């Protein structure tokens, strides 16, 4: 790798953002930070900026703009405020890779801008493909650039299909540990507490994605992502429960061969792969020890106990603005569960009501998706009681 790659980290103070900076710290000869953006935890953003000395920092703390500008200016770091400033900054020539680790709908525009500017996009924002997959695919085909998924499961698929360009995909198998509620009955799930739902056995993640993992809706969203990322039909994506969570994904090819990618529960592995692609960099990250694990098991999914997964299957199959409706309704419902305004099974109640009540659009444009998102959020809030 002759030249160091300049990286823009969007969502630098979140879990994935912090892990990406660990990867960069471990590989200073390969990467440097050109841009940092965070919408919360300004104090941590300052610490990151002072340590890594990026060319530019964009923040969302309007009250501290003057303070931050003066502090970072003394270190030779440009400082700007606001979401629009971040979008404009993505055009910088020094940015080779945009790592989009922004959570939620606000991560979609950075994805579209990155592709518009022909950047390599290391994508960890689910909503970009779940909500706006058609827009992303269109821009990707028109402008070029590249998308390297960072989610563990989609990074695994991406790695499995490398070198298989003349061998068509028959199907993809995504895996799930089953989350903290695996094996629970419908009756047991009705009384699940917030602390129990947040106790993921394998992955350390933010509260929102941890609850999505508990309802398994995150796996439905990953199926929608896979359809757009790999240009596949819904029927070509399969989900298996894999309690050990070691096989990240598998790809079946038309010649009868199957490839699987195995890894430990360390998100730095797919992050480093996305940053270094098409090369690989040696690391000291933990290795899979099959003798210690002993066995790898697989089970079918329980759609009765986890009906949110069934809703996401419906949205994936029908498409249009249904994924946008489900995503928006789910965000409101999960937040209400985390603040203990609703019970666990109410997440499904709200999601189902949103899908059945918001007008369906078969071929929405971006403005339609924005309108759908706003309308659904308002409607979902009216269902909280």
Domain boundaries, the chain: 5-149, 151-223+237-264+286-304, 319-385
Which phi and psi angles does 6 have, rounded to 5°? Answer: -85, 130
The distance from CA 355 to its chain's CA centroid, rounded to whole angstroms, is 22
Query: Which tokens go with 271?
Result: 């992050």
Query: Can you tell me the distance from the alpha carbon of 112 to that of 81, in angstroms, rounded to the nearest whole number?
Result: 20
Query: Can you tell me the distance from the alpha carbon of 330 to that of 347, in angstroms, rounded to the nearest whole number?
Result: 7
Instruction: With CA atoms as reference, report the closest residue to 325 among 359, 293, 298.
Output: 359
Sign of CA dihedral 117, 120, 122, 123: positive
Query: Can you tell me the distance from the alpha carbon of 50 to that of 48, in angstroms, rounded to the nearest whole number?
Result: 6
Burial tier of 342 (Cβ tally within 10 Å: 0-12, 13-18, 19+): buried
Considering only CA atoms, give the Rg of the chain.
Answer: 21
Q: How many C-beta neighbours within 10 Å does residue 198 have? A: 15
Q: What is the pLDDT of residue 186?
A: 83
Residue 146, helix vs strand vs coil: strand
Strand pairing category for 258-262 and 247-253: antiparallel
User: Distance from first CA to last CA of the chain, Å, rounded?
Assistant: 56
Residues 6+ apart with CB under 8 A from 97: 5, 6, 7, 8, 119, 120, 121, 122, 274, 275
Q: What is the pLDDT of residue 201?
A: 65
Q: What is the pLDDT of residue 209?
A: 86
Enter the DSSP assignment of 36.
E
Instruction: With CA atoms as reference, report the closest residue to 320 among 154, 134, 178.
Output: 134
Sign of CA dihedral 118, 124, 125, 128: positive
Enumerate residue ranges in the chain where pLDDT < 70: 1-2, 201-204
Q: How many C-beta neighbours within 10 Å does residue 208 have? A: 16
pTM: 0.94
From the candidate CATH numbers 3.50.50.60, 3.40.50.10880, 1.20.970.10, 3.40.50.720, the one assigned to the domain spanning 5-149? 3.40.50.720
Query: Can you tell me the distance from the alpha carbon of 17 to that of 36, in angstroms, rounded to the nearest whole number?
Result: 9
Beta-carbon-side half-sphere exposure of residue 49 (alpha carbons within 13 Å): 27
Domain 319-385 has CATH 2.60.40.1180: no
Q: What is the pLDDT of residue 1?
A: 44
């Amino acid at each position: 790798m002759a030249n160091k790659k300049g990286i823009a980290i969007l969502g630098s103070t979140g879990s994935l953002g912090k892990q990406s900076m660990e990867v960069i710290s471990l590989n200073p000869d390969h990467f440097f930070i050109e841009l940092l953006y965070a919408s919360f935890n300004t104090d941590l953003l300052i610490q990151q900026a002072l340590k890594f000395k990026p060319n530019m920092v964009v923040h969302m703390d309007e009250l501290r703009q003057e303070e931050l500008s003066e502090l970072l200016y003394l270190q030779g770091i440009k400082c700007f405020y606001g979401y629009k400033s971040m979008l404009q900054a993505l055009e910088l020539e020094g940015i080779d890779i945009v790592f989009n680790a922004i959570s939620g709908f606000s991560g979609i525009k950075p994805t579209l801008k990155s592709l518009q500017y022909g950047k390599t996009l290391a994508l960890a924002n689910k909503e970009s493909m779940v909500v706006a997959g058609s827009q992303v695919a269109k821009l990707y085909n028109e402008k070029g650039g590249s998308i390297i998924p960072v989610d563990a499961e989609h990074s695994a698929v991406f790695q499995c299909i490398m070198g298989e360009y003349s061998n068509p995909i028959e199907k993809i198998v995504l895996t799930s540990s089953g989350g903290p509620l695996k094996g629970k009955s419908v009756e047991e799930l009705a009384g699940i507490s917030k602390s129990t739902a947040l106790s993921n056995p394998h992955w350390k993640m933010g509260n929102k994605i941890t609850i999505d993992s508990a309802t398994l809706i995150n796996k439905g969203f990953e199926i929608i992502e896979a359809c757009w990322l790999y240009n596949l039909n819904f029927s070509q994506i399969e989900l298996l429960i894999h309690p050990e969570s070691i096989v990240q994904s598998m790809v079946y090819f038309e010649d009868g061969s199957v490839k699987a990618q195995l890894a430990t529960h360390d998100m730095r592995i797919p992050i480093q792969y996305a940053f270094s692609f098409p090369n690989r960099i040696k690391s000291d990250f933990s290795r899979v020890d099959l003798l210690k694990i002993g066995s790898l098991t697989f089970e079918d999914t329980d759609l009765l106990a986890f009906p949110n997964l069934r809703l996401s299957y419906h949205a994936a199959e029908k498409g249009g603005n249904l994924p946008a409706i489900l995503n928006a309704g789910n965000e409101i419902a999960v937040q209400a569960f985390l603040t203990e305004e609703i019970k666990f099974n109410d997440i499904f109640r709200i999601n189902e009501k949103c899908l059945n009540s918001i007008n369906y659009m078969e071929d929405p444009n971006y403005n339609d998706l924005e309108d759908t998102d706003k309308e659904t959020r308002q409607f979902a809030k009216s269902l909280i009681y």
